Structure 1
Amino acid sequence: MNTIRCIAVDDEPLALTIISEYARKVPFISLEKVFTNATDALMYLQTEKPELVFLDIQMPEIKGIDLARIIQWKTAIIFTTAYSQYAVESYSLDAIDYLLKPVPFERFLQAVNKAAHYLQNEKITSSSNERNFLFVKSGYKAVKINFDDIFYIEGLKEYVTIFAKSQKVLKLDTLKNLEQLLPKNHFVRVHKSYIVNLNHVKASFGNTIEINDKQIPVGRAYKEVVKMLLKI
């Protein structure tokens, strides 16, 4: 089994100590860094690419749930928290697992084994599907769209509209499904109804970003993380 590169984010030093001790007991886990706040973790994730993040939910400034909305495309996530009421929301973000504190080692081991299985399947899928475009079924035909040409994507209930350089494509799908197909280093969710291509952001002001003369709202839950990504 390949070694899994990890980080841990938690504002409680004791929780980080426990995760560090547990990680040392698992031969295929390499805990490379720990953070006591989400802001520092996000800055680290701009340049480094750990495969797994142990993420607390209740933290100051940027909460774990908000950070997860941004990084869920970039890395696998295991939530660690003392609050059971966030379980449903965490699974809506496709988290690998949800660990309630205090976390027994057996439960930690179960979670990292799930992560290892998931990441192995992801590597197989990505190695066979590396490309810079996607085909989108719209009406009676499949339309090819280059990732670089996409400005932003807007979701409305069971439909999404892809706004690209030379076309606008309406597709029967959800943002959540579509975002799994997009390159994780360029596309980011900024609102419950919008995904944007960071390469096409022209300006940012207030709770709004501008792409191709379109003003796109930034949701409250995404605001701090978007500011960090844009280095504002």
Structure 2
Amino acid sequence: MQYRCAIIDDEPLALDILESYIQRTPYLELVTKSLELKTVADLIAERKVDVVFMDVNLRGDNREYISRLMQNDCVFILVTAYSSREVQHLFHRGKRGYLGKPASYKKFVGEMERLKIASS
């Protein structure tokens, strides 16, 4: 199965790293990426995104966009420098994942495999 992905991160280097990881992974396809949440919040449903990689600490007031984003039926993987304990209060682990920054490709693939198993 091919998974359609979106990346939202206000750090250009982190955005580039995640993009390269998605390109290296045969069952992933990048359909949109942005430095700003508001740019892609509405595109997620329109482009039928399956997985959203999202930085937890995006600049600006994003409450409206996060609320809109969370209405989509997709997997959210939080990408952050915060520890997983600090982030757990934000999301339940069901259709959610976590990648600490900087994430190695091995950890990236491990999290994707965990989510593939959980969703099957």
- TM-score bin, normalised by smaller chain: 0.7 to 0.9
Q: CA deviation at 1:96?
A: 2.8
Q: Distance in 2 between matches of 1:91 and 1:36?
A: 22
TM-score (normalised: structure 1)? 0.46
Q: What's the RMSD between the two structures over aligned residues?
A: 2.2
Aligned to 1:87: 87
* Structure 1 counterpart SS, 2:111: helix
Q: Distance in 2 between matches of 1:32 and 1:62?
A: 21
Structure with larger Rg? 1
Q: Distance in 2 between matches of 1:72 and 1:80?
A: 19
Q: Percent identity?
A: 25
Aligned to 1:16: 15
CA 1:97/1:68 → structure 2, altered by over 3 Å: closer, same or farther? farther
Q: Distance in 2 between matches of 1:72 and 1:116?
A: 21
Q: Distance in 1 between matches of 2:18 and 2:26?
A: 14
* Structure 2 counterpart SS, 1:30: strand
* Structure 2 counterpart SS, 1:89: coil
The CA deviation string for residues 2-39 of structure 1, in whole angstroms up to 9 with x for no partner, is 11111110001100100011111111111111111111
Q: CA deviation at 1:49?
A: 1.5
| 4+ runs deviating over 3 angstroms | none
Q: Distance in 2 between matches of 1:48 and 1:82?
A: 28
Q: Distance in 1 between matches of 2:81 and 2:12?
A: 14
* Structure 2 counterpart SS, 1:92: coil
Q: What amino acid does structure 2 have at the position aligned with 1:77?
A: F
CA 1:68/1:115 → structure 2, altered by over 3 Å: closer, same or farther? farther
Aligned to 1:208: none
- Higher RCO (C-alpha under 8 Å, 6+ residues apart): 2
Q: CA deviation at 1:69?
A: 7.7
Higher-strand-fraction structure: 1
- Structure 1 unpaired stretches of 5+: 122-232
Q: Distance in 2 between matches of 1:91 and 1:72?
A: 14
Aligned to 2:108: 108
Q: Distance in 1 between matches of 2:45 and 2:34?
A: 14
Q: Distance in 1 between matches of 2:45 and 2:89?
A: 25
Q: Distance in 1 between matches of 2:57 and 2:106?
A: 23
Q: What amino acid does structure 1 have at the position aligned with 2:87?
A: A
Q: Distance in 2 between matches of 1:106 and 1:69?
A: 31
Higher mean displacement: 6-15 or 86-95: 86-95
Q: What amino acid does structure 1 have at the position aligned with 2:62?
A: I
Q: Distance in 1 between matches of 2:95 and 2:68?
A: 10
